[in-house]
Amino acid sequence: MYLIKTFEDEHSCIPDGYCTVIRGRIIAKLALNEIRRDPTLKPKAMQAKMEEKYKVIVSNDQCRKAKQQALRMVQDEHDEQFARLKDYKMEVIKCNPDSTVELGTLTNESGKETFDRIYVCLAPLKRTWTAHCRPIFGIDGCFLKSNEKGQFLAAVGRDSNNQLFPIAWAVVEVENTDSWLWFIQLLKLDLNLLDGTGFTLISDRQKELIIAVEQELPKVEHRMCARHIYGNLRRVYPGKELPKDLFWAVAKSFNVGEYEIALKQLKNFDVRVYEAVLLKNPHNFSRAFFSSTPVCEDVSNNFSESYNNTLNTAREMPLVEMLETVRRQAMIRMDMRKTKAFRWKGKYSEKVANTIKAEKKHLFECRVIPSGNGIYEVGENNHPHTVDMGAKTCVCRRWSMTGIPCRHALRVILKKKLDPLDYVSHWYLTSTWRKQYNDPICPVNGINFWRSSGEATIQPPPRDVPQQTKQQKKRIKGKNESPQKKNKGKGVEAPTKKRVKLTIEGKTTHCRRCGVGGHNSRKCPNHGCPVYRPRKQPSGLSQDEGPSQASQNSNLG
């Protein structure tokens, strides 16, 4: 309770912005939300915000200490969230029913549970991919940048506009065979992959991942990322300038004929590089040997790499905050893509319009000869191509691989005055595009609304202890380097002489009490004698000479 004894309603003083009540902890509470959003906020920026928002002047030192307190408060919140991971799992499943959230823990020597790994596959993403997305997905991993020090694994698909569509993600301690087996087993159950028949997977040449895929999805079409293979070749032959066009001509060949021509050109360039490419098994990274079932011509895992790039900020955050940021990004992406899909008025997505526009540039190089029963011979640069309009195939395999008519099919379509959109795969329909973003991700409540699971809490990770930085030593200069300092317009200054301190070595000390040499006043054996005060010496007597023996005797007597 407070009792007000005096109240001054009118003030004659002029406010100067200084307040003794504003201390470091109060500044930390006022700036907590801003520091939570931006932990790199500078003390000078905090000063400016305090003066602008609250009209209070604080010092740089106060803001520096307040920032440290605010960071400790934020870390306490993150530790509490980490300890309640089991409650967070229940909240995610409650807000998004049928979601899969698997949490793995270990028991340390003290008997407390510690974090091992977590897997998240939200129900809207799971339902949408299995019902409306092409049967192709990419898997990749990247490092975390926080003090948890782990690996972030993600599975990403393609939507009808050929943009990335996140499916599931996980955080593990180490990217090894056991972690990949665990991730793929859960992903196989959520997406109903069975043995992998009819599905396509794209990944890099990570050994543990290849082993896990062979065990869990033996029938899946496993494409290797051509960009990683090209990077490995550049490391094997660092002094050899491997032209990009030669390698990518091999990887992007749609048929065996183009593949053999490109491979021959690579062999003429360098036999060793040619043999190294064959050792990588081109059947895993060349379009000439890919299945047309997923209706996707990707030879690299760029959409997974692009997804990892969108998580750069999230990977620097603590575990729960990172998982929530990834979920929020997916929720925002679903809403933005839904708006874009419903604004698009075409029958098929933007991807189709752009591809047909690019293929139409080569139409006048083609000549059509009808054969009957919907089969045509289309010549391009004196190379005939067989086009079957009924089966929607062309010998170049571009139509069946992409699901969009190639230049040879477009030449026949335009000659017969047909609509090219009638020969596009149903995977690119705008209606399918809208269905992919019609099932939104529901929000997840904050920690104050999490219900207790009743299980033991998880031990939070140890905090980083800031180490004192060593002072940088100055570089030792050479003998002939900067011997003298020069001032502009003043000429060369003479070097200053080094002051030498004289020692008492070789000199005899005298007692200031009795005047006898060989000891000092502390160790004087002549107790009770008066303090010796030497007489003033005449000007002709040297100062180095000691007192005369007669004067010493007179003082002793």
The pLDDT, as a whole number, for residue 364 is 80
Q: 325 burial class (0-12, 13-18, 19+ CB within 10 angstroms)?
A: middle
Whole-model pTM: value is 0.76
The pLDDT, as a whole number, for residue 480 is 58
> Please, which residues have CB within 8 angstroms of residue 235's CB and are 6 or more apart in sequence?
none
Provide the 8-state DSSP code for 421. G
Nearest-angstrom CA–CA distance, 413 and 162: 24
What is the identity of the amino acid at 60? N
Q: Which residues of 407-417 are buried (b: 16+ CB within 10 A; e: fewer)?
A: bbbbbbbeeee
348 phi and psi, to 5 degrees? -120, 170
In the chain, which residues have pLDDT < 50? 488, 491, 541-557
Nearest-angstrom CA–CA distance, 405 and 425: 9
What would you measure as the largest C-alpha separation in the chain, in angstroms? 148
> Please, which residues have CB within 8 angstroms of residue 547's CB and are 6 or more apart in sequence?
515, 534, 535
The pLDDT, as a whole number, for residue 259 is 95
Q: How far is CA 32 from CA 63, 70, 190, 364, in A?
A: 12, 6, 40, 65
Nearest-angstrom CA–CA distance, 147 and 460: 11
The pair of three-digit structure tokens given for residue 375, joined into one six-digit string: 């089969």
Would you say 106 and 113 are in contact if contact means Cβ atoms under 8 Å apart?
A: yes
Nearest-angstrom CA–CA distance, 30 and 62: 13
Cα 491 from chain centroid? Answer: 55
CATH for 85-225+301-339? 3.30.420.10
DSSP string, 178-192: HHHHHHHHHHHHHHT
The pair of three-digit structure tokens given for residue 307, joined into one six-digit string: 């997804």
The pLDDT, as a whole number, for residue 149 is 79
Q: How many CB atoms lie within 10 A of CB 320?
A: 20
- Boundaries of every domain in the chain: 24-81, 85-225+301-339, 240-295, 350-428
Q: Tell which residue, 225, 221, 230, has the closest CA to residue 301.
A: 225
What is the identity of the amino acid at 58? V
Nearest-angstrom CA–CA distance, 394 and 388: 6
Q: Tell which residue, 20, 16, 14, 44, has the closest CA to residue 31.
A: 44
Paired sense of beta strands 221-224 and 200-203, if any: parallel
DSSP string, 263-293: HHHHHHH-HHHHHHHHHT-GGGT-GGG--ST
The pLDDT, as a whole number, for residue 15 is 77
Nearest-angstrom CA–CA distance, 282 and 229: 10
The pLDDT, as a whole number, for residue 552 is 45
Nearest-angstrom CA–CA distance, 84 and 211: 34
What is the identity of the amino acid at 357? K
Q: Which residues of 463-483 are buried (b: 16+ CB within 10 A; e: fewer)?
A: eeeeeeeeeeeeeeeeeeeee
The pLDDT, as a whole number, for residue 116 is 92
The answer to whether the Cα torsion of 332, 333, 337, 338 is positive or negative is negative
Half-sphere exposure for 241 (CA within 13 Å, toward CB): 0
